[in-house]
């Protein structure tokens, strides 16, 4: 690995330090399972078949960070029983959620897990939200999706301690004319509303046009909005910004 990459991306980097801060909180709650709101990056879906919402239902999934050859190839357990029961519950609650029973994982799940659970010992349940291709799901529908997931977690008869994670940028352009630019005003607005627990206001602001004006990948904010729905309210313990995105932790019982 080039020394500059170690400086920018290794455990001693700013990114590594922020992930470590989140990892300490995750370790403190001793999670047995992670529900992961994410947007697929054309690994499992493409424009010819891209659901608004999809639950991964497998016993395990594999992958790596496609852009970094230093990233290990990981195999991650998926809590198949939880995922399948969540699908049934979603349909009962009138969410027409798709399922994926053969899947791979990409950087948006594996990079966080690389820092947060490097032994890959905590099974996950991936819940995909269409955040990279218009038309995007409505922000209020994603908030309701998160609330439905929280209701299912509260009803789940197992003894697992469940953590909920979201992965995604607020302002990011990939392969387009705005690549390298960040909508700092929009990022500041999102962070301010998250810190103040003004989620309904965030939902009102998060229209498709506003999100995609911040970059063609910025619909990933919907993952954070779904997370807010699952949390059920409360201010975060912290929100730390980086260019185009942030790191944050909530403890719902403290909300």
CB 226 within 8 A of CB 143: yes
What does the pLDDT average to over 151-179?
Answer: 95
What does the pLDDT average to over 63-71?
Answer: 71
Q: Hey, how many other C-beta atoms are within 10 angstroms of the C-beta on 94?
A: 8
Residue 9: pLDDT band with limits 50, 70, 90: low
DSSP states along the chain: --HHHHHHHSTTSHHHHHHHHHHHHHHHHT-SEEEEEE---SSS-BTTB--SEEEE--SEEEE--TT-TTSPPEEEEB-HHHHHHHHHHHHHTT---EEESS-EE-HHHHHHHHHH-TT--S-EEEEEE--SSSSPPPHHHHHHHHHHHHHHHHH--S---EEEEE---SS--SSSTTTT---HHHHHHHHHHHHTT-HHHHHHH--HHHHHHT-TTGGGHHHHHHHHHHHTS---SEEEEETTEEEEE--GGG-
φ/ψ bin of 219: left (φ > 0), alpha (ψ from -120 to 50), beta (otherwise): alpha
Residue 254: pLDDT band with limits 50, 70, 90: very low
What does the pLDDT average to over 196-207?
Answer: 98
What does the pLDDT average to over 41-53?
Answer: 91
pLDDT above 70 (res 250): yes
pLDDT above 60 (res 69): no
Q: Hey, how many other C-beta atoms are within 10 angstroms of the C-beta on 168?
A: 24
What does the pLDDT average to over 197-210?
Answer: 97
What is the predicted pLDDT for the residue at 200?
97
pLDDT above 60 (res 4): no
What does the pLDDT average to over 80-100?
Answer: 97
What is the predicted pLDDT for the residue at 140?
98
Domain 3-248 sits in CATH at 3.40.830.10
Residue 178: pLDDT band with limits 50, 70, 90: confident
Residue 68: pLDDT band with limits 50, 70, 90: low
CA 43, 247, 195: angle at the middle one, nearest 5?
125
Q: What whole-number distance in Å separates Cα of residue 117 and Cα of residue 55?
A: 21
Between residues 1 and 209, the one the model is more confident about: 209
CB 53 within 8 A of CB 98: yes
**Per-residue pLDDT tens digits for 92-128:** 999 999 999 999 999 999 999 999 999 999 999 999 9
What is the predicted pLDDT for the residue at 176?
86
What is the predicted pLDDT for the residue at 253?
62
What does the pLDDT average to over 25-42?
Answer: 95
Give the residues across from 34 on adjacent strands.
124, 163
Q: What whole-number distance in Å separates Cα of residue 87 and Cα of residue 103?
A: 16
Residue 240: pLDDT band with limits 50, 70, 90: very high
Domain parsing of the chain, residue ranges: 3-248
Q: How far is CA 161 from the centre of its chain?
A: 18
What is the predicted pLDDT for the residue at 80?
98
């Amino acid at each position: 690995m080039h020394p500059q990459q170690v400086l920018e991306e290794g455990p001693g980097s700013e990114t590594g330090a922020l992930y470590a801060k989140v990892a300490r909180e995750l370790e403190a709650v001793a999670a047995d399972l992670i529900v992961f709101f994410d947007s697929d990056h054309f690994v499992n879906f493409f424009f010819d078949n891209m659901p608004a919402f999809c639950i991964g239902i497998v016993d395990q999934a594999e992958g790596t960070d496609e852009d970094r050859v230093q990233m290990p190839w990981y195999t991650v357990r998926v809590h198949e029983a939880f995922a399948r029961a969540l699908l049934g519950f979603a349909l009962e609650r009138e969410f027409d959620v798709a399922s994926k029973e053969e899947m791979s994982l990409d950087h948006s799940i594996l990079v966080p897990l690389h820092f947060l659970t490097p032994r890959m010992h905590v099974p996950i349940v991936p819940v995909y939200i269409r955040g990279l291709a218009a038309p995007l799901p409505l922000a209020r529908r994603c908030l309701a999706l998160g609330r439905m997931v929280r209701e299912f977690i509260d009803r789940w008869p197992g003894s697992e301690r469940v953590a909920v994670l979201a992965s995604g940028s607020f302002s990011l352009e990939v392969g387009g004319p705005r690549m390298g630019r960040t909508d700092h005003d929009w990022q500041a607005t999102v962070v301010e509303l998250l810190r103040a627990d003004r989620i309904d206001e965030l939902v009102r602001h998060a229209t498709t046009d506003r999100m995609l004006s911040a970059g063609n990948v910025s619909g990933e904010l919907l993952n954070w909005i779904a997370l807010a729905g699952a949390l059920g309210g409360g201010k975060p313990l912290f929100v730390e910004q980086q260019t185009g995105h942030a790191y944050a932790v909530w403890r719902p019982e403290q909300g």
